Amino acid sequence: MADADAQTPHRRVRNRQRKRSQRRLTFGRRMLYRIAVPLGVGIIRFFWWTCRIERVLGAEHVERTALAGKPVVFCYWHRHQLFVWRYLRQQVIGRGAKVGWLISASVDGEVPTGIARAIGGGLVFRGSTTAGGSEALRAICKAVRREAVSPATTPDGPYGPVSEFKAGVVKMAQLSGAPLLPLAYAARSAWVLRTWDRFVVPKPFTRIVLAAGAPVEVPRDCDDAGVLAVQRRMEGELQRAFEVASRSVRGSA
């Protein structure tokens, strides 16, 4: 029998997904989440208040699309949620664009959903772009086409593997007609948590630079090989956006 530690990363991810999907919203969890949501909101606002985004590189890509009423699918790694959320909330939604947050329909998505509704603005879609998420995907595509909503997604979430761009997000862009737009940020000083996603928490009062990449169109007739090619391309685009932000924040005074 193979040793449990010899499991592939994908198998470990599937096991983690299976365990989490079996959780139920019990009374105890519901009470815990009622405490966790305001606590989470308070922590997020603390970091938003003590840190500032000093510049947004590639902002013209957002200006020409979402802020001009042309929807895109915003893509950012799960570990970069903290300040991408701030950017989208304050500088995109705050300027009149419509953004929809795609959050897991599982019990694990209850707290993020509560936080998004408290501070995120925009619409909240509960579901997945993978198995069992067809209803959420249809709702998002309808909102993109009819209301020019720009979905905000973490293509390696909610459980990983880390930095792996999932096919479902490419399918979302393909079916909705909205291009994929990569976002990443870098902090001059930050903690990297020991979580599956290596979540980034900027240290209070540090400087932050956010980078937006050019929109990537997904052809309507894209086949499986084409979808895979877009996945690999977007992994590269997100890495490039992060590197651009990192060079800029290191060079800032």
Task: State the pairing for strand pair 150-153/207-212.
Answer: unpaired
DSSP state of 122: S
Among candidate residues 132, 144, 169, 143, the one with its CA nearest the CA of residue 154 = 169
Binned at pLDDT 50, 70 and 90, residue 133 comes out as low
pTM above 0.95, yes or no: no
- Considering only 5-9, 65-69, 205-209, which range has the smallest mean pLDDT? 5-9
Are 124 and 100 spatial neighbours (Cβ–Cβ below 8 Å)? yes
Residues facing 180 on adjacent strands = 73, 216
Rounded to an integer, the average pLDDT of 53-65 is: 97
Structural domains of the chain in order of their starting residue, each with its CATH number: 26-251 (3.40.1130)
pLDDT tens across 81-101, in order? 999 999 999 999 999 999 998
In percent, the amount of the chain with pLDDT more than 70 equals 87
**Lookup: tokens for 112:** 């993020």
Residue 134: CA count within 13 A, CB half-sphere = 2
pLDDT tens across 178-188, in order? 999 999 999 99
pLDDT at 9 over 50: no
